[in-house]
Structure 1
Amino acid sequence: MSTATRPTGLFVDGEWRPPRGRILVRDKYSGEVVAELAEATAADVKDAVAGAYRACAKPLGEAERARILSAVADSLEARAADLVEDYVAETGFTIADARNEVRRAVAIYRLSAQEALRIAGEQIPLGASPGGESRLAFTIRVPVGVVVAIAPFNAPLSTVAHKVGPAIAAGNTVVLKPAEKTPLSAVNVVSAFAEAGLPPGFLQLVCAPGKVAGPALLDDDRVRFYTFTGSTAVGRAISAGAGLARTHLELGSNSVSIVADDARLGDVVNLVATAGFRKAGQVCTSVQRILVARSRFDELTSALSERVGQLRAGDPRAQDTDLGPLISEEEAVRAADWVERAARSARLRQGGVRERGLLTPALLADPAADAEVLTQEIFAPVVSIVPVRDLDDAVAKVNEGAYGLQTGVFTQDLDRAMHAARSLRVGGVMVNDTSSYHADAMPYGGVKDSGHGVEGPRYAVHDMTDPRVIVLNLRRPK
């Protein structure tokens, strides 16, 4: 593979293509331009899909896939300092967040390497069917083909790993489109794959605005699988345009943590202080709403208000910063407006003050039921606490909403916890933890407007392969 040219952000068939248009990558705290990348055209996108389709004709063996994925993990681990520097600049997230993302990405590629060696079908008991007594049937699992991976800005290392790692492990080829505002991490990952010896065509990179790349990627029957993380609105468009290709959609949420009257409030406060505000609240599973038993509402509100007031928003490179800016000043303006409108009916206990792209951590007590901070996804460092009658009331409030990603349930009663887990219409229930808990090996995904399909290398590899049945019509040997 030729990788002699400098990485440009446009990687097609093993070559970094020179730029025709440019994408400016800005430091989200200072606003300074930190990189210029090649902006892919619709023709570049089509070339990338065509190259990925051609590469499907010569699939890699399982051992080679595992070797490459392990080498990528080793490379990222060795280059962690450089990855952290690019990550903090392009996202505005703290150094601690960046280091955690590097660790997660390394682990995901290693998990994917292991899964490449575990792909297997199953024997089918045809003896249960009339005429099947002399036949032996089994399945093998084969790659689906071309996978399009569309990644979000808020996890440009770990979410890319969750899409690219399993796709390569399953034997597919990939066209990766990172978020326009955070492409540097994807460039670093693609460079690592190239250095690991992944053959041309198996991983293509196109950096471009969604309005350019989206139509070109959706209007192509050679794509057999779309994996997308982002807004529900864009997810609907992908679902409508994907045709007969399969989709994995991890979409929006306004995640809830339920606090029963017997919960340990100290645990709630400590966990929410992280889970509601890390990455400036720009996480799909961030605690956006807390539904607490009315008898504990005042106590929890006071304790959480004190803890949130200790969080510091500022320069993400400073050691004492808990959260940096939002991805853009426009998003900070929008979130501050939502807080201001909600505060007309609620008590603003902490924060909500905007300075350029920074928004101080905000805690709202009992907003109106139709407030945007309760009904939509704010994707900002804003948590609302709402009193409820009891556990069933909280479950009903979660279920009546449009989203269903993950929910936390705090209670010391196992029966109540399991009742809630069985009743909640969400993709995951975290008992005595917040909605934000996520281990990379577990199945992770939502229902309703939060999408469908799951991440997690084992589960994604299964989704990104097709079963092929093989039947042997056997005869008694003479």
Structure 2
Amino acid sequence: MLKGLFLNGEEKITNNTYPLYHPHTEEKIANITQGTQEDMKEAISAAHNNFAEMKALTSNQRANILFEAADRLLERQEEAAQIISKEASKPIKAARGEVNRTIQTLRFSGEEAKRLNGEYLSLDAAEGGEGRDAFTIHEPLGVIGAITPFNFPLNLTTHKVGPAVAAGNPVVIKPAEQTPLSSILLAEILTQSGLPKGAIAVIPGDGPALGEVMNQDERVKKISFTGSPEVGKLIKSKAGLKRVTLELGSNAAMYVDESCADQLNDIASKAAAGAFSYNGQVCLSTQRIYVHESLFEPFKQALAVKTKEIVFGDPAEESTVVSSLINKKSQQRVLDWIAEAKANGAEVLTGGKGKANGVLPTVLANVDRNEKISCNEVFGPVVLINKVKNASEALEQMNDSRYGLNAGIFSNNLSQAMNMAHQLEVGQVLINDVPTLRFDHMPYGGVKDSGYGREGVKYAIEEMTELKMISLNYKG
């Protein structure tokens, strides 16, 4: 299969291509047209030229485009799931879940398009403001640049595209090189649903080269990026007056306190799901678990048992939960980090070995906080479990991280849970849930090296608009 760029409402194929391989089977999926810097400039020009048309769409028209796109994706949901499973090596059940979430994200975007309201201001609250009424409105920014990751190639792209369309902005997508097909499918569906031609483009290719064009072009008014902290910082440093939203890394932590003795099996099941969903290649993946010393041994055993039940295999198989990582380089890095931790005293409770192009689900105990596998983002199927004396020690260790995205607390002590929630240095705290939990309409973003700005449909839309105030002097 030969797949082109999506530009000006149609596919554009050139002789400049790169091969796309299935990460698990290593079979060739397609030849992908390699976008050039000139292609990116053309996409930005087309988007900029379509801005007036996008801005003129009523909120009802924008909502209906998004609702129709959701319906069209629903009709093609199995096709979309197969694309995700093949290009991202995502287990097919997880891929279907991503498609369902994408449909929901499109619908949330359509709903929020109709709720993009301002507010009334009483200008007579100020001396001299008598006889004036004022109100605010939200206006679209202009061209939105979306730089998207491989791990949720359809839904995380939609978290940028859906709000952009809802606000009346055209959007140019630079997808991860490994997962362009999902973004192209989304662009095709939105165009078929009535989005003006040229208002959405997908330019696969070399990230640094294409991203540089996007960052330098003043017609791009905002960049929404999901990826590594290092690249995020580089984008922000060069963005100038552009707005940026950066969704970066994490090593999400959770705590199980002494009040949860009767819930250990249930919590262990949730923790295993949170740690190993999509091979641990999730920004919110449960990576660090701290357990009160009175429950440490039984919880450690329960988690090891639940982990051993997880099936590693071909992502096309219905029973598969964990499969190959996105590439062999990632596999080797994860295995190296496990080996380092083990050499420095960590206990491997289960897993710790490579299989196919992936890593078997791995639980490590008693890991020093300075180990790479503790203080960096693993982005693989590995979770560590450490003993703490009390909530204060748990809080200190959970906050001892360069990251701050999500955190989870399991506790039946409301006062303790709320005190920890207020002190945790993260963007979202989940009480009696694993930190891997995310619903698509909730605010989402991190502090420290985990990011800048917020996603979640309503909140992303607000960051893709300008607030304008209009005042009427009705007394002359």
| TM-score, structure 2 normalization | 0.97
Deviation at 1:57, TM superposition (A): 2.1
Partner of 1:198: 195
Alpha-carbon distance between aligned partners in 2 of 1:310 and 1:16, rounded to the nearest angstrom? 44
Deviation at 1:9, TM superposition (A): 3.6
Alignment of 1:31-430 (within 5 A): 31-58=26-53, 59=55, 60-263=57-260, 264-344=263-343, 345-430=345-430
Alpha-carbon distance between aligned partners in 2 of 1:15 and 1:191, rounded to the nearest angstrom? 8
Alpha-carbon distance between aligned partners in 1 of 2:187 and 2:289, rounded to the nearest angstrom? 39
Alpha-carbon distance between aligned partners in 2 of 1:114 and 1:13, rounded to the nearest angstrom? 27
2:18–2:33 CA contact under 8 A, matched in 1: yes
2:24–2:356 CA contact under 8 A, matched in 1: no
Secondary structure of 1:295's aligned partner? coil
Letter of the 2:367 counterpart: P
Unpaired segments of 5 or more residues in structure 2? none
Alpha-carbon distance between aligned partners in 1 of 2:245 and 2:122, rounded to the nearest angstrom? 31
Q: Which moved more, 1:315-324 or 1:410-419?
A: 315-324
Alpha-carbon distance between aligned partners in 1 of 2:376 and 2:358, rounded to the nearest angstrom? 21
CA deviations on 1:276-331 (whole Å, 9 max, x unpaired) are: 00100000010000011122111111111111112121111122222111001110
CA deviations on 1:392-415 (whole Å, 9 max, x unpaired) are: 111112223110000000000111
Q: Of 10, 15, 32, which residue of structure 2 is paired with 1:15?
A: 10
Partner of 1:3: none
Alpha-carbon distance between aligned partners in 2 of 1:355 and 1:258, rounded to the nearest angstrom? 30
Deviation at 1:208, TM superposition (A): 1.0
Alpha-carbon distance between aligned partners in 1 of 2:420 and 2:266, rounded to the nearest angstrom? 19
Letter of the 2:276 counterpart: F
Alpha-carbon distance between aligned partners in 2 of 1:104 and 1:275, rounded to the nearest angstrom? 17
Partner of 1:443: 443
Alpha-carbon distance between aligned partners in 2 of 1:9 and 1:432, rounded to the nearest angstrom? 46
2:2–2:33 CA contact under 8 A, matched in 1: no
1:348–1:364 CA contact under 8 A, matched in 2: yes
Q: Which moved more, 1:312-321 or 1:100-109?
A: 312-321
CA deviations on 1:107-164 (whole Å, 9 max, x unpaired) are: 0001101111111111112111111011111111100111001111000111011110
Secondary structure of 1:407's aligned partner? strand
Alpha-carbon distance between aligned partners in 2 of 1:442 and 1:385, rounded to the nearest angstrom? 28
Letter of the 1:439 counterpart: F
Alpha-carbon distance between aligned partners in 1 of 2:452 and 2:259, rounded to the nearest angstrom? 33
Letter of the 2:216 counterpart: D
C-alpha RMSD of matched pairs (Å): 1.3
Alpha-carbon distance between aligned partners in 2 of 1:36 and 1:298, rounded to the nearest angstrom? 51
Q: Which moved more, 1:442-451 or 1:388-397?
A: 388-397
Alpha-carbon distance between aligned partners in 1 of 2:258 and 2:229, rounded to the nearest angstrom? 33
Secondary structure of 1:204's aligned partner? strand
Q: Which moved more, 1:383-392 or 1:16-25?
A: 16-25
Secondary structure of 1:276's aligned partner? helix
Alpha-carbon distance between aligned partners in 1 of 2:198 and 2:445, rounded to the nearest angstrom? 29
1:255–1:288 CA contact under 8 A, matched in 2: yes
Secondary structure of 1:24's aligned partner? strand
Deviation at 1:103, TM superposition (A): 0.3
Alpha-carbon distance between aligned partners in 2 of 1:21 and 1:8, rounded to the nearest angstrom? 11
Unpaired segments of 5 or more residues in structure 1? 1-5
1:232–1:251 CA contact under 8 A, matched in 2: yes
Secondary structure of 2:323's aligned partner? coil
2:254–2:398 CA contact under 8 A, matched in 1: no
Secondary structure of 1:31's aligned partner? coil
1:21–1:39 CA contact under 8 A, matched in 2: yes
Q: Of 20, 28, 46, which residue of structure 1 is paired with 2:23?
A: 28
1:329–1:356 CA contact under 8 A, matched in 2: no
Alpha-carbon distance between aligned partners in 2 of 1:450 and 1:265, rounded to the nearest angstrom? 29
Deviation at 1:7, TM superposition (A): 8.4
2:153–2:179 CA contact under 8 A, matched in 1: yes
| TM-score, structure 1 normalization | 0.97
2:81–2:92 CA contact under 8 A, matched in 1: yes
Secondary structure of 1:198's aligned partner? coil
Alpha-carbon distance between aligned partners in 2 of 1:136 and 1:307, rounded to the nearest angstrom? 62
Deviation at 1:12, TM superposition (A): 1.9
2:402–2:449 CA contact under 8 A, matched in 1: yes
Runs of 4+ that moved beyond 4 A: none
Deviation at 1:197, TM superposition (A): 2.0
Alpha-carbon distance between aligned partners in 2 of 1:9 and 1:158, rounded to the nearest angstrom? 21
CA deviations on 1:224-246 (whole Å, 9 max, x unpaired) are: 11111111111111111111111
Alpha-carbon distance between aligned partners in 1 of 2:358 and 2:32, rounded to the nearest angstrom? 26
2:352–2:361 CA contact under 8 A, matched in 1: yes
Deviation at 1:416, TM superposition (A): 0.8
